[in-house]
C-alpha cells in the first residue's frame, strides 16, 4: 500500500474514506460484509472498486471519495494529531537528513508512527528504519500497524533509548540518519556513537519544543563530536483560494444617489401627507413613526442594489465581479518544535595524515 500505488481496490486493502478535509477515516476493505457508516450515509465495501472514485451512499444522499493511503494522507486520518510530526517538518527533515532509498534510519520515539510511514517510504525497500518506543502500549499499537501496513523495512523496538541505548542484539545498525523526538535528547545522544555508520557522514535531527532543551542538546552534540550544529524552525502556512466580490466606488455613489432620491421622494410624499393629516387632525408623531418604518422598508433592498445585499449570493456568481484572493487558515501552527541538525563526519584512518596533521602529500 505505502510502497506502490494500486488502482483497483481488493479485499484487505486499506482505503481512506474521505468525507471532508477534517473527516478522513481508514477502512480495511471486506467486500463481502463490510459497511462504512458515516453521517454522509452508508457505504458497502462491495461498491469500493477503484481508488480515486467518488462513491455515492446507499441512499444517494451523500458521497465519499475512496483515497489511496500515502504517509501524508495517513497522518491526516489519525484521530489524535497533537503528537505527530507535521508534513512541513517531516518533509524538511527527510531532505536534510538525506533519507534516500537504501538509507538506514533511526527514529525514537515511534509515537503515533506517522512519521515512520514517511521515513519508510523514502528509505524504500532497500532501506531500514529502526524505530524505538519506550511506551509499551504505543509500541504494541505501532508494531501492529506497521505489520498491517506492510512497512517491511521498519524494525520497531520497545526500548528506553535514553537509559539503554540503541543497540539491537545480533544486528549491526549502522545508521546514517537519526531522528530524536524525545523529552531529553541529550541523554540519548551519547549512545548514538555505537550505532551510526562511522565510514560515512551521519546526520541527526533533534526535535524539541522548548529552547532550553535545544541548548542541552547542543552541548551533548558538541561533546559527542558532532559538527555543523544548526538549529532551525519550520514555519508553515496553509491557504485557500477564494473569490471576493469587487464593489466599485461608482456603484456605491450610484446607490447613494438612489437612496437619496428615494428618500426625497418619500419626504415629498410625507410632506404632502402631513399637510393632509394636519388638515384632518391626525397626530404628527404617529405619522412620523409610520414614515420611519415605511422609509426603512423603502431604503432596504428594493432600490439600486449592485452587490445583491440581502440576497444569497454564491461565490463566483457571474452577475457580479470577483477578485481572486488567498486566505490564510484561521489558526496556524506557529510552533511545532525546534529542529536541531548536526553531522558526524566519518572516521579518518591514520594513513590520511602526515606528521604535521596535514593531508599526506600526493604521490603518483
Partner 1 sequence: IFDNPRIQPNTYCMVKLPSENFRVVKLIPNQTISIGKFGSFQVNDILGLPYGYTFEIQEDKRLRIIQEGVDDHDYVVGAKGALLEPEETNQTLIDTSESQTLSMAEIEEMKKQKTLSGKDIIDHVIKGHNEFHKKTAFSKEKYLRRKEQKYLRRFTPQPMCSSLLLDFYLEKDYKKVLDMSQEMLALLLSMANVRPGGKYLVVDETTGVLTAALMERMAGEGLIVVAHENEHPNLDALKYLSMPTELQDRMIKSINWLQFFEPEGEEEVPEKTPEQIASMKPRNRGAYFRKRNRWLELQNVNDLVANQGFDGLIVASTLHPASIVDRTLHAIGGSRPVVVYSEYKEVVTEVSQLMLKDLRVLAPSIWESRVRKYQTILGRMHPSMTSRGGGGYLVHGTRVFPNEEVNATQ
Contacts of partner 1 in 183-202 (CB under 8 A) = 183-184, 187, 199-201
SS3 assignment, position 134:
coil
Give whichever of 6 and 32 is closer to partner 1, judged by the CB atom.
6
Does residue 317 interact with partner 1 by CB under 8 A?
A: no
Report DSSP letters for 69-114, one per residue.
Answer: --HHHHHHH-S--SSSPPHHHHHHHHHHTT--TT-EEEEE--TTSH
Does residue 87 interact with partner 1 by CB under 8 A?
A: yes
Does residue 28 interact with partner 1 by CB under 8 A?
A: no
Give whichever of 26 and 71 is closer to partner 1, judged by the CB atom.
71
Of residues 79, 279, 334, 355, which one binds partner 1 by CB under 8 A?
Answer: 334
Give whichever of 55 and 106 is closer to partner 1, judged by the CB atom.
55
* Minimum CB distance to partner 1, residue 221 (Å): 10
* Minimum CB distance to partner 1, residue 135 (Å): 5
* Minimum CB distance to partner 1, residue 149 (Å): 14
What lies within 8 Å, CB to CB, of 322 at 6+ separation is: 243, 244, 245, 246, 315, 316
Stretch that binds partner 1, among 30-38, 63-71, 270-278, 286-294 (CB under 8 A): 63-71
Long-range pairs of 347-351 with CB within 8 A, sequence gap ≥ 24: 347/198, 347/199
- In degrees and rounded to multiples of 5, residue 73 shows phi and psi of -70, -35
Sort strands 23-28 and 14-20 into parallel, antiparallel or unpaired. Answer: antiparallel
How many residues interact with partner 1 (rule CB under 8 A)?
A: 123
* Minimum CB distance to partner 1, residue 186 (Å): 9
* Minimum CB distance to partner 1, residue 170 (Å): 25
Give CA–CA dist 10/6, Å, rounded: 9
Structural element, H or E, at residue 326: strand 322-328
Contact pattern from residue 108 through residue 147 relative to partner 1, giving x for each residue in contact according to CB under 8 A and a dash for the rest: ----------x--xx-xxx-------xxxx----------
> Rg of the chain over CA atoms, in angstroms?
33
Does residue 300 interact with partner 1 by CB under 8 A?
A: no
Site for partner 1 in 261-280 (CB under 8 A): none
Give CA–CA dist 76/294, Å, rounded: 54
SS3 assignment, position 254:
helix
What lies within 8 Å, CB to CB, of 164 at 6+ separation is: none
Give CA–CA dist 171/156, Å, rounded: 13
Of residues 28, 35, 58, 227, which one binds partner 1 by CB under 8 A?
Answer: 227
Give whichever of 106 and 336 is closer to partner 1, judged by the CB atom.
336
Does residue 297 interact with partner 1 by CB under 8 A?
A: no
Does residue 318 interact with partner 1 by CB under 8 A?
A: no
How buried is 260 (Cβ within 10 angstroms: 0-12 exposed, 13-18 middle, 19+ buried)? Answer: exposed
Contact pattern from residue 156 through residue 185 relative to partner 1, giving x for each residue in contact according to CB under 8 A and a dash for the rest: ----x-x--------------------xx-
Amino acid at each position: 500500500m505505502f510502497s506502490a500505488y494500486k488502482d483497483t481496490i481488493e479485499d484487505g486493502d486499506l482505503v481512506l474514506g474521505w468525507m471532508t478535509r477534517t473527516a478522513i477515516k481508514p477502512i480495511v476493505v471486506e467486500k463481502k460484509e463490510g459497511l462504512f457508516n458515516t453521517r454522509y450515509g452508508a457505504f458497502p465495501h462491495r461498491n469500493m472498486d477503484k481508488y480515486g472514485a467518488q462513491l455515492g451512499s446507499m441512499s444517494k444522499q451523500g458521497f465519499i471519495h475512496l483515497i489511496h493511503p500515502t504517509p501524508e494522507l495517513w497522518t491526516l486520518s489519525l484521530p489524535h494529531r497533537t503528537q505527530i510530526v507535521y508534513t512541513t517538518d517531516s518533509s524538511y527533515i527527510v531532505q536534510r537528513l538525506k533519507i534516500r532509498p537504501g538509507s538506514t534510519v533511526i527514529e525514537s520515539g515511534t509515537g503515533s508512527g506517522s512519521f515512520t510511514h514517511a521515513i519508510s517510504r523514502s528509505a524504500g525497500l532497500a532501506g531500514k528504519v529502526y524505530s524505538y518506543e519506550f511506551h509499551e502500549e504505543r509500541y504494541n499499537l505501532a508494531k501492529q500497524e506497521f505489520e498491517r501496513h506492510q512497512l517491511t523495512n521498519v524494525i520497531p523496538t520497545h526500548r528506553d533509548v535514553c537509559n539503554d541505548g540503541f543497540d539491537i542484539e545480533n544486528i549491526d545498525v549502522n545508521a546514517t540518519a537519526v531522528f530524536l523526538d524525545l523529552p531529553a535528547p541529550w541523554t540519548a545522544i551519547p549512545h548514538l556513537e555505537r550505532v551510526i555508520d562511522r565510514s560515512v557522514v551521519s546526520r541527526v535531527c533533534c526535535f524539541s519544543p522548548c529552547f532550553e532543551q535545544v541548548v542541552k542538546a547542543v552541548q551533548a552534540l558538541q561533546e559527542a563530536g558532532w559538527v555543523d550544529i544548526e538549529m532551525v524552525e519550520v514555519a508553515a502556512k496553509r491557504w485557500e483560494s477564494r473569490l471576493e466580490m469587487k464593489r466599485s466606488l461608482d456603484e456605491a455613489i450610484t446607490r447613494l444617489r438612489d437612496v437619496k432620491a428615494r428618500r426625497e421622494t418619500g419626504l415629498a410624499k410625507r410632506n404632502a401627507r402631513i399637510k393632509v393629516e394636519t388638515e384632518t387632525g391626525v397626530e404628527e408623531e404617529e405619522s412620523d413613526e409610520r414614515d420611519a418604518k415605511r422609509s426603512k422598508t423603502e431604503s432596504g433592498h428594493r432600490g439600486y442594489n449592485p452587490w445583491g445585499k440581502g440576497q444569497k449570493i454564491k461565490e463566483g456568481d457571474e452577475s457580479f465581479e470577483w477578485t481572486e484572493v488567498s486566505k490564510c487558515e484561521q489558526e496556524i501552527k506557529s510552533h511545532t518544535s525546534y529542529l536541531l541538525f548536526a553531522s558526524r563526519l566519518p572516521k579518518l584512518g591514520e594513513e590520511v595524515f602526515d606528521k604535521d596533521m596535514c593531508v599526506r602529500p600526493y604521490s603518483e
